[in-house]
Amino acid sequence: MTTLPAGDHPVHEVHAIRFAHHAPRRRVENFLGGDAHDGPMPFDYFVFVIKGPAGAVIVDTGFNAEVARKRGREFLRCPSDGLRLLGIDPQTVADVVLTHLHYDHSGNQDLFPKARFHLQAAEMAYATGPCMCHGMLRGGYDPHDIAETVRKLFEGRVVYHQGEGVVAPGITLHRVGGHTDGQQVVRVMTRKGWLVLASDATHFFENFERNIPFPWVYHVGATLEGFRRLRELAAAEALVIPGHDPQIMTRFPPSTAEAKGIVARLD
Ligand SMILES: [Zn+2]
């Protein structure tokens, strides 16, 4: 029996699957305006999983080995290996949230043949609009993923949200923009209260904690406003989960003994 906290929202488990790594990254590259204390500050790549009464909802789909090779990222495992450690068959997943369409969040769509894909309408407009005439703004996207998303739209498998949205009771979507125009965050009711999967609304804990955006940014003001919104949505600052911080694997315990170093339990 699921416990229902105030507000009658069902309680969910939230997990992070670490599937790739980028070691040669320095602090100066992770803060707009640089950083006085330079040193290594690597990136991890995650696919997030929400487990609850409505089944498993996947947040972002990652990328594959071929894309990792092309972009010089260290590929650790297919995200589906992490899903299997959680007892989830990707073939049966009904709902996938794409927080935005950057290559590291929207590849591997073919792993989920039965899923509907939840996306902000503003993200598709941005990723196919005039801003993509600029190399600097389109660099984070892979045209293959955009085309796959358009294909799903025409198969009736894209659910567009405009601002706020609901995936299932206790799982809501919130457009914050900033990093990309249609960047959205996911708010989930857990046993600790509202947890927010911020994705690239804050790449590291430190971007959000110090109110300094990551330099790959479409709109600085919206990013800063997004930090404020994250604080408003989460029950506590400790329940705001960034998109790329390796500390996710050290701040939180493994989901199971077998999943140590691969899947962390966030709630
Ligand atoms: Zn990202």
Q: Kindly list the domain boundaries of the chain, sorted by start residue.
A: 13-169+244-265
Q: How far is the CA of 162 from the centre of ligand 1 (A)?
A: 21
Q: How far is the CA of 216 from the centre of ligand 1 (A)?
A: 10
pLDDT band at 223 (very low <50, low <70, confident <90, very high): very high
Longest dimension (CA), the chain: 52
Looking at the predicted structure, is the pLDDT value of residue 41 above 80?
A: yes
- 58/110 Cα distance (integer angstroms): 13
- 247/71 Cα distance (integer angstroms): 23
Q: How far is the CA of 59 from the centre of ligand 1 (A)?
A: 12
Mean predicted lDDT score pLDDT of the chain: 95
Q: Mean pLDDT check: name the lowest of 4-18, 88-102, 156-170.
A: 4-18
Q: How far is the CA of 6 from the centre of ligand 1 (A)?
A: 33
Q: How far is the CA of 43 from the centre of ligand 1 (A)?
A: 9
Token couple for 94: 């009904």
Please give the average per-residue pLDDT across 99-119, as a whole number: 98
Q: Could you tell me whether strands 263-265 and 164-168 are parallel, antiparallel, or unpaired per DSSP bridges?
A: unpaired
Q: How far is the CA of 197 from the centre of ligand 1 (A)?
A: 12
Long-range contacts formed by 235-240: CB under 8 A, 24+ apart = 235/192, 235/193, 235/194, 235/195, 236/192, 236/193, 237/209, 239/190, 239/192, 239/193, 239/194, 239/195, 239/196, 240/195, 240/196, 240/198, 240/202, 240/205, 240/208
Q: How far is the CA of 80 from the centre of ligand 1 (A)?
A: 18
Can you give the pTM of this predicted structure? 0.95
- 176/8 Cα distance (integer angstroms): 25
Q: How far is the CA of 4 from the centre of ligand 1 (A)?
A: 33
Looking at the predicted structure, is the pLDDT value of residue 3 above 50?
A: no
User: Residue 3, Cβ neighbours under 10 Å: how many?
Assistant: 7
Q: How far is the CA of 149 from the centre of ligand 1 (A)?
A: 17
Looking at the predicted structure, is the pLDDT value of residue 2 above 50?
A: no
Q: Mean pLDDT check: name the lowest of 6-10, 146-150, 170-174.
A: 6-10
C-beta of residue 123 within 8 angstroms of C-beta of residue 181: yes
Q: Which CATH superfamily is domain 13-169+244-265 in?
A: Ribonuclease Z/Hydroxyacylglutathione hydrolase-like (3.60.15.10)
- 214/207 Cα distance (integer angstroms): 7
Q: How far is the CA of 68 from the centre of ligand 1 (A)?
A: 13
Q: How far is the CA of 141 from the centre of ligand 1 (A)?
A: 10
Please give the average per-residue pLDDT across 51-79, as a whole number: 96
Q: How far is the CA of 2 from the centre of ligand 1 (A)?
A: 33
Q: Mean pLDDT check: name the lowest of 26-30, 97-101, 116-120, 201-205.
A: 26-30
pLDDT value of residue 4: 47
Q: How far is the CA of 5 from the centre of ligand 1 (A)?
A: 32
Q: Where are the alpha helices (DSSP H) in the chain?
A: 65-71, 79-85, 103-106, 121-127, 135-138, 143-154, 205-210, 220-233, 248-251
